[in-house]
Amino acid sequence: MTRIIWKLVKDILLNPYVDLKTEYYDLGLAHRDATADKVTEQSAYAIKKYGVGVKCATITANADRVKEYELKEVWKSPNATIRSILDGTVFRTPIIVNGISPFVKTWRRPITIARHAYGDIYKSLEYRVPGKGRAELVFTAESGEVSRQTIHDFSGPGVIMGMHNLDQSIEAFARACFRFALEAKQDLWFSTKDTISKTYDHTFKEIFQRIYEDEYRQAFEAAQITYFYTLIDDVVARIIRSEGGVVWACKNYDGDVMSDMVATAFGSLAMMTSVLMSPDGHYEFEAAHGTVQRHYYQHLRGEETSTNPVATIFAWTGALKKRGELDGLAELVDFATRLEQASVQTIEEGILTKDLGELSTAPQKRIVNTETFIREIDRRLASLL
C-alpha cells in the first residue's frame, strides 16, 4: 500500500513543485528478487555517497511472500541490510497535531526515542540447560590467555543466554545521540540498568560520559541543553511526568519496547517520523510503519482505502530539509516546512484518514480516502506557498 501512497505523494505533492534530482532504487520485492537483492546494497551505498536518502516501507519476505511473489530466496530485511551498511541509530519522533491528544495529559512536546540498533539480545546465543551441571563464561584472548567464570551451578534444568556489544558500536550510538540532541536543541536522557549490570550496562554509561566530556559538553552548554544519565526505572517515571521535548536514548531492547509505548501513547504509528543517523553523518528517512498490507489487499479487491500518508510525507520533508541544509538551498527547506504545515493543518481542520477518525477531537470531522486526503493537503500547500 505504501508503494501506492509513495506514487501519489510524488505525483501530487512533490513533482509539481520540486525539480527532484534523485537517484531511484526500486526496493519492491520483485526487483530485489531480480537483482538477487543487490539493489538494496546499492541503495545503501547511494545514501553513503549523497548523504541523504528517503525510503518507502518495504516487505520483509517470509514463507507466504516467497510463494506470493515466487521468490528465489527469503531475502533479508532491507532495513537490516541498510542499517548494517550505514551502522546507525534510529530516531523516532511523534508528529504532534492539535485535536489528537496524547494519552498522557502532561505531554505537550514530542518525545524522541533513540534506539541503539546493534547487539544485546538481538545477536545473542541461547542454550536450554537440560539438567544438573555447571555453566561457565569463558573468554579466550588472542594471546591464548583464558578467563573463566562460573555463571551458575545448575541442580536442575534451566536456561542460559550469552550476549555482547562492542565499544565501537556504543561510541557511534553515543555520538549519533549527542548530534541529534544538538540539532533538535533538546535535552538528552540516557538510561540503562547499571546498578544491576555493573560491567555491561556500566560500559554504556561510561562511554556516553567520556564522549560527552571530550566532544560535546561545550556545544551542549552553548546550546543550553543538558545531558543527563539515570536508571531506566527513573526515566520511565520522569517521562510520564514530563511535558516531553526530550530525546531518550535507549539500549536496543529498551528502545524496541519503549518506542512502541511512546508511539501508542501519542496516538498512531502513522504519525511518527523515523530517521536513521549514521556515525559518518548520513541520513536515511522513512516511515515508522510497514507497508500496510491489509489495506493493500482491500485496494486489490477494488475497495476504497483510507490509509494515512503522513509518515511517508514527513519522510520526504525530512530528507528535503536535510538536503536543503547541506546544499544551502533555503527555498527547499522552506518548501518542506510548508508541506509539513499543510499536512498538519489538514488534520487540524478535521479532514482525516480513517485511523485518525476516532482519535481526533476536531469539531467537524470528515473521513476521506487516501487520494482525497493528499489533494486536500495540496490545496493548503498551494495557498501556503
Q: Does 181 bind ligand NAP (CB under 6 A)?
A: no
Among 33, 194, 201, 256, binds Mg ion (CB under 5 A): 256
Q: Does 360 bind ligand NAP (CB under 6 A)?
A: no
Parallel, antiparallel or unpaired: strands 158-162 and 125-129: antiparallel
Q: Residue 96's closest CA among 107, 106, 85, 105?
A: 107
Q: What are phi and psi of 311, to 5 degrees?
A: -65, -35
Burial class from Cβ neighbours inside 10 Å (0-12, 13-18, 19+) for residue 307 reads buried
Q: Does 54 bind ligand NAP (CB under 6 A)?
A: no
Stretch that binds ligand NAP, among 13-21, 55-63, 326-334, 343-351 (CB under 6 A): 55-63
- CA 94 to chain centroid: 11
Cβ pair 113, 257 in contact under 8 A: no
Count of residues that bind Mg ion according to CB under 5 A: 2
Minimum CB distance to ligand NAP, residue 179 (Å): 22
Binding mask 260-299 for Mg ion (x = CB under 5 A): x---------------------------------------
Q: Which one of Mg ion, ligand NAP, none is in contact with 355 (Cβ closer than 5 to 8 A by kind)?
A: ligand NAP
359: which 3 cell numbers? 482519535
Minimum CB distance to Mg ion, residue 267 (Å): 17
Minimum CB distance to Mg ion, residue 44 (Å): 22
With both helix axes pointing from N to C terminus, report the angle between 330-348 and 370-384 in degrees, rounded to the nearest 10. Answer: 130
Q: Vertex 262, ends 259 and 265: CA angle to 5°?
A: 145
Q: Does 346 bind ligand NAP (CB under 6 A)?
A: no
- Nearer to ligand NAP by Cβ, of 192 and 346: the residue is 346
Instruction: Count other Cβ atoms within 10 Å, centred on residue 174.
Output: 27
- Nearer to ligand NAP by Cβ, of 235 and 351: the residue is 351
Residue 195 neighbours by CB under 8 Å, 6+ apart: 231
Stretch that binds ligand NAP, among 13-21, 52-60, 87-95, 161-169 (CB under 6 A): 52-60
Q: Which one of ligand NAP, Mg ion, none is in contact with 254 (Cβ closer than 5 to 8 A by kind)?
A: none
Q: Does 254 bind Mg ion (CB under 5 A)?
A: no
Q: Which residue is nearest to ligand NAP (CB)?
A: 290
Question: Looking up cell 534444568, which residue turns up?
Answer: 157
